[in-house]
Amino acid sequence: MGFAWTNVSLSQPDITQKLTERIDDLKQRIAAWGKRIRRYTERSTQFNQNSLFQSDQKRLYESLERPMVGGTGPAPNQADNVAFWRGLWSEPVNHSEGPWTEVVASQCASITPMDPVIITPDDVAQAVRRAPNWKSPGLDGLHHYWLKGFVFTTAVCGREVYKDLKLSIINIIINNWYVSSYNVL
C-alpha cells in the first residue's frame, strides 16, 4: 500500500500520472477553500460595517480612516531622500512639447469661456434641504441636520463656496504657471 488515504499503490505502472492527478485535485481543493474563506471574510466585513453604520456612523468612519498597518521595515534615511531628490531636480530637463500642443491650443482658442458662476444663499439652502441629515459630514465637520436647523448658515455657506470657487480658479492659473516652471529644493 503506497498511500493509505488514496487508491494509489506504488506497484501500479502509471504511478506518476495518478500522483500528478491527485496533487492537482488537492491543489484545486485548497484553492476552493481559500476562495470560500476569502468570500466569508469579505461578507463578514461587509456585515459588520453595515451594522456599525446603522448603530454608530461615527465609529464606522473612524475605523475606515485609520491608517492600514504598512511595512515594518526601517524608515528611510532622510539624507538619502534629500540627496535623491536634489539629484533628480538639479538636472536640467530638455524636452520638446511636440507639434500636437500647437494643434490643441489652436482648437481650444475657439472655445468661449464659461460665464462666471454665482452661488446664492438660495442655491445653498436648496442643496442643503435635499441632503440627508446624518450622513458623513464634510471637511467642516457639520452634519446637514445643523445646516438645515440654522437658516443663517446658508448665507455664510454661500459666500464661502463662492470664495472657494474664486480661489480654485486662481489656483488653476497658478498651477498652470507652476507646471510650466521648475522647482528648486
For residue 103, being part of any structural domain is answered with no
- Tell me: do 185 and 121 sit in the same domain: yes
Structural domain span for residue 51: 15-65
- Tell me: do 123 and 185 sit in the same domain: yes
User: Structure pTM?
Assistant: 0.31
> What's the pLDDT score for residue 25?
92
> What's the pLDDT score for residue 30?
94
For residue 168, the one-letter residue type is S
Return the half-sphere exposure (C-beta side, CA atoms, 13 A cut-off) of residue 127.
12
Total number of domains constituting the chain: 2
For residue 77, being part of any structural domain is answered with no
For residue 54, being part of any structural domain is answered with yes
Q: Which residue has the cell 454661500?
A: 158
> What's the pLDDT score for residue 98?
80
31: exposed, middle or buried (Cβ count in 10 Å: 0-12, 13-18, 19+): exposed
DSSP class of residue 10 equals: T
pLDDT along the chain (185 residues), means of 10: 58 78 92 94 92 89 72 77 86 79 86 79 77 78 72 65 63 50 45
For residue 75, being part of any structural domain is answered with no
For residue 29, being part of any structural domain is answered with yes
